[in-house]
Amino acid sequence: MSQTGQRIHESVKQAYGRIAATGTSCCGPRSTCCAGSRADQVAQGVGYSAAELATLPEGTNLGLSCGNPTALAELKAGETVLDLGSGAGLDVFLAAQRVGPQGRAIGVDMTPEMLAKARRNAVTFQERTGLGNVEFLQGQIEALPLPDTTVDVVLSNCVLNLSPDQAAVWKEIARVLRPGGRVAISDMVLLRPLPDAIRESVEALVGCIAGAALIDDLRQMVADAGLVDLQLIPKEGAVEAMLPTDDPMAQHLLGLLPVGTRPSDYITSLVISAHKPG
C-alpha cells in the first residue's frame, strides 16, 4: 500500500480507537453527541428497529451506521456472513441471530480497541442469546484474513468509504465469496465531486464523507471485481440522520460547503447489492 494509503489507515485507526474508548461519536472525532439515546436515534434514522437494537449488548451501537444491511441481506439459517469493518459488533450480532447456531457471523476490523470492545460484547451476547457463532478477526479490508470462497454473504456498514483502495476491497469481497454468494452493503457514495476543502479534511474522511466513491466509479469497481446484478438503492434521510444540525462535526462540514448547498447535494447513502456468479 502507498504511503498515502498507510497515512489514511493510521488516521482512521486512531479516530475509531478513540470512539471505541469513549463510546461517543456520530462518525467523527469532533462529535460528542452520539452516545446512548442519540446513537439509537441515529440507528433508527438509518433503518434499524428498536426491537433489533434491544437485542444488542450495551455499548454495541456507536451511532456509526448509514443503513441496515442485515435487514436487506435475506440471511438464511446456516449461512456464513462476513462484516467488513465490524466495529463493536452491531451487524455481526444481528446477523448471528438470523443465521442461527448452525451459521457463522465473522467481523473483521483493523482497530485493536474496537476488536477488544467487540470481543467483550460477544461474551455478553452469548450469555444473553446462547449463541456462540460469532468471531472477530483483526485485519484490513483490502487484504481479508480469510481463505478463498468461504463466505455466503458479505456485509458492511459505512466502512468502504474509509478505505484508500476501494477497488482492492471489492476484489477481496469477490475472492472470499462462494460462487452464488451475495453482497449487502450500506455505504456513502458521491453524486458529484466534493469541494476540495471537504475532500482534504481528515474529519470528513473519518465522518464517512471525504473518502466516498463517485457512483460511476463504484459501478466500475464492482464490475472489475467480477460481481454481477448490481443494485443501488438510496436510503432516504440517512445523510440527515448521520449529520444532525446540532452535531459539531456536521456544523464544521456545513461551513466548508458552498453557500446554499447541503451535504445531500453531494452525497447519499446507498444499499449496494450484487452477486458472485454461481
Q: What is the pLDDT of residues 116-161, one digit of tens each?
A: 999 999 999 999 999 999 999 999 999 999 999 999 999 999 899 8
Q: What is the pLDDT of residue 203?
A: 57
Tell me the CA distances in angstroms from 142 to 171, 190, 225, one per residue in order: 8, 21, 13
Grid cell in block for residue 220: 466500475
Q: E strand or H helix at 38, and its extent?
A: helix 37-45
| Mean pLDDT in residue range 250-257 | 74
| Mean pLDDT in residue range 93-99 | 96
Q: Which residue has the cell 468471531?
A: 135
Domains annotated for the chain, with CATH where assigned, are 3-275 (3.40.50.150)
Q: How far from chain centre, in Å, is Cα 5?
A: 19
191 band by pLDDT with thresholds 50, 70 and 90:
confident
Please state whether 133 falls in left (phi above 0), alpha (psi between -120 and 50) or beta: alpha
Q: Over the stretch 38-86, which tens digit does the pLDDT of each residue have?
A: 777 777 877 788 888 888 888 888 877 777 888 878 999 999 999 999 9
Of 187, 189, 188, 198, which is closest to residue 261 (Cα–Cα)? 198
User: Which has more pLDDT, 247 or 54?
Assistant: 54
User: Which has more pLDDT, 256 or 234?
Assistant: 234
Rounded Cα distance between 242 and 11, Å, is 20
Radius of gyration of the chain (CA): 17
pTM of the model: 0.86
E strands, 50-207, where? 80-84, 104-109, 134-138, 151-157, 177-190
Q: Which residue has the cell 480507537?
A: 17
Upper half-sphere CA count for residue 52 (Cβ side, 13 Å): 22
27 band by pLDDT with thresholds 50, 70 and 90:
very low
Of 63, 44, 75, which is closest to residue 250 (Cα–Cα)? 63
| Mean pLDDT in residue range 9-38 | 60
